[in-house]
Chain A
């Protein structure tokens, strides 16, 4: 059974960079046909897709966040990461990592991690 687990700092100061990692177990992150996504949910609000990285290494980002987002993969550790720069209070959210199947649907999700942006 595939499992995803987010980790990283739960508190980030404004203007700094948010960094999260998603550890994948029960399967290989290098398996073809999948991409690996980050999705966030501000408190009391809806889901927002941040971006994904294909098994090939290609990345695609939400246009509204593109200038501040980097998603990368570490195949040796079977994990992928999110960096979001120049954060503000509006970036406070629960951040989820998820596996994205070929037709843009997410079949496995991490439990989510709350990141608060505050001084």
Chain B
């Protein structure tokens, strides 16, 4: 199974909005609404931010939103804050292994 494709880095200024893309295939992102997004700060475990494409777990800010079109999912963070600076990973169920595939990760820099 091949990793999902994410941009290596994105950046934005405080208060702005950014979007991170996650491209897969019809065997994963495009075939199922089982895309999730994780935030990881240095030295910490990943934290679930979005699941099932667009659902937010309890306690996650509504500044985080998810969507999907075809084989590409997206994470949008609005009203950027310094604390949002982190690595972000997408993942999806994949029928190729009846398992999970992750994206390569995107480093978000808040300027």
Q: Does chain A have a CB within 8 A of B92?
A: yes
The reply to whether B97 and A60 form a contact with Cβ atoms under 8 Å apart is yes
Interfacial chain B residues near A48, Cβ < 8 Å: 102
Interface size on B, residues (CB 8 A): 27
A-B contact count (CB 8 A): 70
Interfacial chain B residues near A61, Cβ < 8 Å: 97, 99
The reply to whether B92 and A104 form a contact with Cβ atoms under 8 Å apart is yes
Interfacial chain A residues near B93, Cβ < 8 Å: 103-104
Interface size on A, residues (CB 8 A): 24
Interfacial chain B residues near A103, Cβ < 8 Å: 33-34, 51-52, 93
Instruction: Pull 29 A–B residue pairs with CB atoms less than 8 Å apart, ordered by A.
Output: A46-B89, A46-B103, A46-B104, A47-B46, A47-B91, A49-B91, A52-B99, A52-B100, A60-B97, A60-B98, A62-B97, A63-B1, A63-B96, A64-B1, A103-B51, A104-B36, A104-B93, A104-B99, A105-B34, A105-B48, A105-B91, A106-B36, A106-B38, A106-B46, A107-B48, A107-B57, A109-B45, A109-B47, A112-B45
* B positions within 8 Å CB-CB of A: 1, 3, 33-34, 36, 38, 45-48, 51-52, 57, 89, 91-93, 96-105
* A positions within 8 Å CB-CB of B: 37, 46-49, 51-52, 60-64, 96, 100-101, 103-107, 109-112
Further contacts, 17 of them, CB under 8 A, given A52-B100, A101-B51: A46-B102, A46-B105, A47-B91, A49-B102, A62-B97, A62-B99, A100-B100, A103-B52, A104-B36, A104-B92, A104-B99, A104-B100, A105-B51, A105-B91, A107-B57, A109-B45, A109-B46
